[in-house]
Structure 1
Amino acid sequence: MQASEKNRSFTQLIEFQIDPRQQSALVAALTVQSERLAESQAGFVSASVQVSDDGRRVLNYLQWQSREAGEAAFRRFEQGGEDFWTLIRVHQAKAVIFDSFQVLRSFERSHDDALHCRLNG
């Protein structure tokens, strides 16, 4: 029997393809944006900003307790003064790929270095 989709966490991935000279500024902007979402949005779980070795791609990873929480956060961000499309233009992104996934299983290390599997479905 599968659990309801509302009980599954939800991950948003946004990949930016950029000129490597834009990397530092984009990472800083995404870090600020992620921190604001963490402070102001219900259902926030975690976030990270990652970069490729060649500096041409930046990945913003946002995990939410549910799809509804993630979608609400994105809508609220879009309605606020910080327009996401402006972020893309300011940092001269050549391409932006949006994707989302429901998390069914995740693994993490505990403080005692044991590996734990969290089942989300």
Structure 2
Amino acid sequence: MPVPEKNRSFTQLIEFEIEPGQQPALVAALSRQTERLAQHHSGFLSASIQASDDGRRVLNYLQWQTREAGEAAFQGFESGEQDFWQLIRTHQAKTVTFGSFQVLHSLELSHDQALHCNLVG
């Protein structure tokens, strides 16, 4: 069954493969860039930056209210103060994988430890 467009959120996943010595600087740079995106683009919902234990991968997860909001923010990411392509070169990324996803189901744990299921549709 199709999910109504108005109820869908949009997620961007960007995975970096790097040399372990580059991980702390890349995480810091992505943190700064993600904060700028969140402050300057409407439709921002959440973000996380995750680092692998072996130091070789970093995952940047960004969630937006709509696909349009995410795509507009990414255009800003490409041409911002430290553009995205410069970020890749500076931190010597071996590979960068992009993924875009519509969120159809999510779970949340509330402050009172209750589990909330959000089925979109």
Q: Which range, TM-score by smaller chain?
A: over 0.9
Q: Does the CA-based 8 Å contact 1:10-1:101 persist in structure 2?
A: yes
Tell me the equivalent position of 2:45.
45
For 2:28, the equivalent position in structure 1 comes to: 28
Residue 81 of structure 1: how far off its partner (Å): 3.3
TM-score using structure 2 length:
0.94
CA distance in structure 1 between the aligned counterparts of 2:52 and 2:77, rounded to whole angstroms: 26
Q: CA deviation at 1:73?
A: 0.5
Paired residues for 1:1-121 under 5 Å: 2-121=2-121
Task: Detail structure 1 runs of 4+ shifted over 6 Å in the superposition.
Answer: none
- Cα RMSD of the aligned pairs, angstroms, is 1.2
Deviation for aligned residue 1:76: 2.1
Post-superposition offset of 1:2: 3.4
Offset from partner CA, 1:4-53 (integer Å, 9 cap, x none):
22420010000000000000000000000111111111000000000112
Q: Larger deviation: 68-77 or 12-21?
A: 68-77
Task: Tell me the alpha carbon deviations over residues 60-98 of structure 1, each in whole angstroms, 9 at most, x when there is no partner.
Answer: 000001111100101122233321100000000000000
Shift of 1:111: 1.4
Task: Name the SS of the counterpart of 1:35 in structure 2.
Answer: helix
Separation of aligned partners in 1, 2:21 and 2:90 = 13
Q: Secondary structure at the match of 1:60?
A: strand
| Sequence identity (%) | 72
Q: Point out the more displaced range, 32-41 or 73-82.
A: 73-82
Secondary structure of the residue that 1:2 maps to in structure 2?
Answer: coil
- Count matched residues: 121
For the residue of structure 1 that corresponds to 2:100, the secondary structure is strand
CA distance in 2, matches of 1:58, 1:78: 18
Gaps of 5+ in 1: none
